[in-house]
């Protein structure tokens, strides 16, 4: 579903991604782990072209994302993204946060969008928060709304960039549970995370990124229990799995 | 001259001159300010543009109008620009309003640019990641938030523009200060007419100040409507549906 070939990304003279090849199949949950600054966020942001790609190719459903002829907005409709800092729209009620893109971008009717948004809010356990404003929510609630907002576009794949890193520990679980549910429903997901438990339990495959390269990847069992690469081993010895 | 020997009865005979001046000052302020807001929005967006042919004209515009005295701009417009376009003068009001508008647009452009830049990058990214085109995201997500932050500096700009409108007296525009000048000349008494003018300006500043603080309070930092307003809007919905 997503094919990445020889992906390079530099910021000026700083080479952040140095040639990544990867293939993500439909319904797969890929977890990306790795030290800070290794390029995980950049990698994710290249997939929906929030970062311009320096070199290489990314295909989603056979369409080349970084072809100048491709309408990037069409691609982004199909690729949901959840950010570490939630990025809810503070001037809109929760329900409007969720219905806005379906109405304005998918041209969905108001009542249909409203019904959909309420379904999604129920799904993330926030049915009673439809009329609240983001500032009235806790971090965990905000992130669940952000997930609902992305899902409202009915994307084919969801990208998560450390969705629980900005949360107080007691709120991490409520967000991970929603993500777990989503994975069970067959959503294709790429998740950058430091939650090794989640990667082990939910990930179909785990990839370890270091210095702008996917150094090693495999099933959670392969990666966590029998890492082959020295750098992977060194990383795990530090983070205590 | 004895300061305590004021003879405001001398002024009273000229009251209509002052009242007319007051209205003209008000008119120049309102027209110049409204035009300056709209034009400033475009110039401000121009200064945010990545396209060089949009950015540079906007930048030079701001540099010129902020870097030269308003009086010079006013004389250029009144005695050179308008006569060479139309063949004759269009009167002091048109020249004055145009000069105030062009000048305040430059200051407003900076306010708008700074306001838009103050919105966290994540807001635009979240909107774009939902498939929203740049302009739509600007209109629905960025501007509504940025405009709120622009309210206090826009308020300052209104008062500054009102005071600047006194320069229109230099092209014999019969606004408030000009009324004072005429009366001072006719009565040969400088204190009473100019003090009257000062008090009337203060009155305008006071009224505008009240207006501004009302608007500021209305759009306070929180997006959550105050309880009273919420109840009102609920009432309306119930009555309507
Ligand atoms: N917009 C940018 N301009 C310049 N350098 C950048 C930019 N974004 C990221 N970088 C640099 O690219 C490198 C990789 O950053 P990235 O955010 O992808 O790392 P990460 O693996 O997500 O780290 P973390 O776990 O801390 O989130 C870092 O050295 C960072 O400083
Ligand atoms: Mg990151």
Could you tell me how many helices (H) and strands (E) chain A has, helices first?
9, 10
Provide the shortest C-alpha distance from residue A109 to chain B (in Å): 17
For B32-57, give the secondary structure using H, E and C.
HHHHHHHHHHHHHHHHHCCCHHHHHH
Query: Pseudo-torsion of CA A182, A187, A190, A195, nearest 10°?
Result: 20
What tens digit of pLDDT does each residue of A7-33 get?
A: 999 999 999 999 999 999 999 999 999
Q: Which pLDDT does position A240 carry in this prediction?
A: 64
Report the distance separating Cα A109 and Cα A103, nearest Å. 6
pTM of the predicted model as reported, rounded to 2 decimal places: 0.83
A37 lines ligand 1 (CB under 6 A): yes
Neighbours of A193 (CB within 10 A): 23
Integer angstrom CA distances of residue A119 from A101, A103, A123, A151: 16, 16, 6, 11
Burial state string for B20-55 with b = 16 or more CB within 10 A and e = fewer than 16: ebbebbbebbebbbebbbebbbebbbbbbeeeeeee
What DSSP string runs through A111-179? Answer: HHHHHHHHHHHHHTT-GGGTT--GGGS-HHHHHHHHHHHHHTT--SEEEEESTTTTS-HHHHHHHHHHH
User: B129: distance to nearest CA of chain A, Å?
Assistant: 6
Q: Pocket of ligand 1, candidates A7, A8, A10, A11: which has the most ligand atoms within 8 Å of its Cβ, to mutate?
A: A11
Locus of tokens 């690729």: A79
pLDDT tens for each residue of B62-93: 999 999 999 999 999 999 999 999 999 999 99
Give the whole-angstrom CA distance, residue A94 versus residue B5: 67
Query: Where residue B10 falls among pLDDT bands split at 50, 70, 90?
Result: confident
3-class DSSP state for residue B90? coil
Q: Is A97 in the pocket of ligand 1 (CB under 6 A)?
A: no
Q: How far from chain centre, in Å, is Cα A59? A: 17
CA distance B46 to B149: 19
Lowest mean pLDDT segment, chosen from A22-36, A138-152, B206-220: B206-220
Sign of the dihedral through C-alpha A130, A134, A136, A142: positive
Distance of CA A158 to the CA centre of its chain: 5
**Alpha-carbon gap, residue B167 to B70, rounded angstroms:** 8
Which ligand number lies closest to the CA of residue A36?
A: 1
Mean pLDDT within A67-76:
92
In a mutational test of the B interface, the residue from A65, A79, A104 whose CB has the highest number of chain B CBs within 10 Å is A104
User: Which candidate in B115, B124, B131, B224 is best for mutational testing of the A interface (most A CBs within 10 A)?
Assistant: B131
Structure tokens at A83: 């950010």
Nearest to A83 by CA among A137, A38, A139, A123: A139
Residue A56 φ/ψ region, left for φ over 0, alpha for ψ in the -120 to 50 degree band, beta for the rest: left
Nearest to B168 by CA among B86, B81, B37, B73: B73
Rounded-to-integer distance, Cα B172 and Cα B79, Å: 12
pLDDT for the residue numbered A236: 86
Asked if residues B89 and B171 have their Cβ atoms less than 8 Å apart, the reply is no
Predicted confidence at residue A4, as pLDDT, reads 95
Q: Residue range A180-197: average pLDDT?
A: 94
Q: Where are the beta strands (DSSP E) in B183-239?
A: none
Q: Which of A204, A209, A202 is nearest to A175 (CA)?
A: A202
3-state secondary structure of A21: strand
Per-residue pLDDT tens over the stretch B26-53: 999 999 999 999 999 999 999 999 999 9
CB contacts, 8 Å: A101 with chain B: 130-132
Apex CA A143: angle with CA A203 and CA A123, to 5°?
Answer: 75
* Cβ of residue B224 closer than 8 Å to a chain A Cβ: yes
Any atom of ligand 1 within 6 Å of the Cβ of A102: no
**Bridge partners (DSSP) listed for residue B228:** none
The confidence score (pLDDT) of residue A123 equals 94
């Amino acid at each position: 579903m997503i094919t990445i070939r020889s992906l390079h990304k530099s910021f000026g003279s700083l080479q952040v991604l140095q040639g990544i090849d990867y293939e993500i199949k439909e319904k797969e949950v890929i977890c990306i782990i790795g030290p800070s600054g290794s390029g995980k966020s950049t990698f994710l942001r290249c997939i929906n072209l929030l970062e311009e790609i320096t070199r290489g190719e990314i295909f989603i459903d056979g369409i080349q994302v970084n072809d100048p002829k491709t309408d990037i907005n069409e691609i982004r409709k199909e690729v949901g993204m959840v950010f570490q800092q939630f990025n809810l729209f503070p001037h809109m009620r929760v329900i409007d946060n969720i219905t806005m893109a379906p109405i304005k971008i998918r041209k969905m009717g108001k009542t249909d969008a409203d019904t959909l948004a309420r379904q999604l809010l129920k799904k993330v356990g926030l049915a009673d928060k439809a009329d609240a404003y983001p500032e009235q929510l806790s971090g965990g609630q905000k992130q669940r709304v952000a997930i609902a907002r992305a899902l409202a576009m009915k994307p084919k794949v969801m990208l998560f960039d450390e969705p629980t890193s900005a949360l107080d520990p007691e709120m991490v679980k409520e967000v991970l549970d929603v993500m777990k549910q989503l994975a069970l429903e067959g959503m294709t997901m790429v998740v950058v995370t430091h939650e090794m438990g989640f990667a082990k339990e939910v990930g179909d495959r785990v990839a370890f990124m270091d210095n702008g390269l996917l150094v090693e990847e495999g099933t959670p069992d392969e990666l966590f229990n029998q890492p082959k690469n020295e750098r992977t081993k060194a990383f795990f010895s530090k983070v205590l799995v | 001259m004895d300061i305590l020997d004021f003879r405001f009865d001398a002024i009273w005979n000229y009251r209509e001159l002052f009242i007319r001046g007051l209205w003209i000052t008000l008119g120049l302020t309102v027209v110049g300010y409204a035009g300056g807001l709209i034009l400033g929005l475009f110039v401000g967006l121009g200064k945010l543009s990545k396209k060089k042919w949009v950015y540079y004209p906007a930048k030079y515009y701001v540099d010129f109008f902020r870097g030269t005295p308003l009086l010079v701009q006013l004389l250029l417009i009144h005695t050179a620009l308008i006569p060479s376009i139309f063949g004759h003068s269009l009167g002091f009001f048109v020249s004055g309003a145009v000069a105030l508008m062009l000048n305040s647009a430059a200051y407003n452009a900076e306010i708008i640019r700074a306001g838009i830049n103050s919105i966290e990058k994540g807001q635009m990214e979240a909107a774009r990641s939902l498939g929203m085109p740049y302009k739509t995201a600007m209109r629905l997500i960025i501007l509504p938030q940025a405009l709120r932050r622009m309210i206090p500096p826009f308020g300052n700009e209104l008062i500054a523009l009102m005071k600047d409108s006194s320069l229109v007296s230099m092209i014999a525009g019969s606004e408030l200060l000009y009324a004072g000048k005429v009366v001072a000349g006719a009565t040969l008494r400088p204190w009473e007419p100019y003090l009257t003018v000062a008090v009337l300006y203060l009155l305008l500043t006071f009224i505008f100040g009240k207006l501004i603080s009302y608007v500021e309070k209305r759009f306070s930092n929180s997006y959550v409507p105050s309880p009273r307003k919420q109840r009102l809007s609920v009432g309306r919905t119930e009555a309507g549906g």
